[in-house]
Amino acid sequence: MKRIVSILLLIALLLSLAACGSSEPDPNAGVYEASTAEYSGITIDIAKVFPDGFSLELKNGGKATFHYEGKDYGMKWTLDGTTFHAEGGGAELDGTLADGVMKLENVLDSGVNINLVRGD
């Protein structure tokens, strides 16, 4: 009987430790609004290309939502140092992320680079 109680206590302890994950929010989480686009050395205001703009919301746990033309698209994201990668809905986005500034390179193989800034 003592052995069964000991095993049950051990299982309860292990389950309680497994449930104690980090609850701290990811410091990179937030909404990143597109600000400028670059193509062939020319930089333009994103509002001239996308009048309604677009944004990428990074969430905890590697989830993201791409907001464009009133629609939301689910994505997953990773960050390795400053190297950023997101994918979902058949699209992949690569670039860098540091100090609240995201730079997406060659978006959808178009040759366009897009700069996004995290809103506070």
Helix intervals (H) in 34-103: 46-49
- Are 18 and 10 within 8 A, CB to CB? no
Domain annotation covers residue 12: no
Sequence-separated (6 or more) residues with CB below 8 Å from residue 75 = 56, 63, 64, 65, 66, 86, 87, 88, 89, 91, 93
Candidates 84, 89, 87; CA nearest to 71 is: 89
pLDDT tens-digit map of 3-40 = 665 666 667 666 555 555 556 788 999 999 999 999 88
Which structural domain, as residue segments, surrounds residue 48? Answer: 25-118
46 or 98, which is more confident?
98
Residue 19 lies in a domain: no
Answer whether 0.85 is exceeded by the pTM.
no
CA separation for the pair 64, 118 (Å, rounded): 14
Contact between 102 and 116 under an 8 Å Cβ cutoff? The reply is: yes
- Angle at alpha carbon of residue 108, lines to 107 and 112, rounded to 5°: 35
pLDDT for the residue numbered 47:
83
Handedness of CA 98, 120, 88, 67 (dihedral sign): negative
Does 14 reside within a domain?
no
Q: Residue 37's domain is classified under what CATH number?
A: 2.40.128.270
Task: For residue 63, tell me if it sits in a domain.
Answer: yes
Q: Pull the structure tokens for residue 84.
A: 């950023």
pLDDT tens by residue, 48-60: 877 787 899 999 9
| Identity of the residue numbered 36 | T
Q: How many residues does the chain have?
A: 120
Give me the number of domains the chain comprises.
1
Q: What is the pLDDT of residues 71-120, one digit of tens each?
A: 889 999 999 999 999 999 888 999 999 999 999 999 888 888 999 999 86
Averaged pLDDT, 58-64 = 95
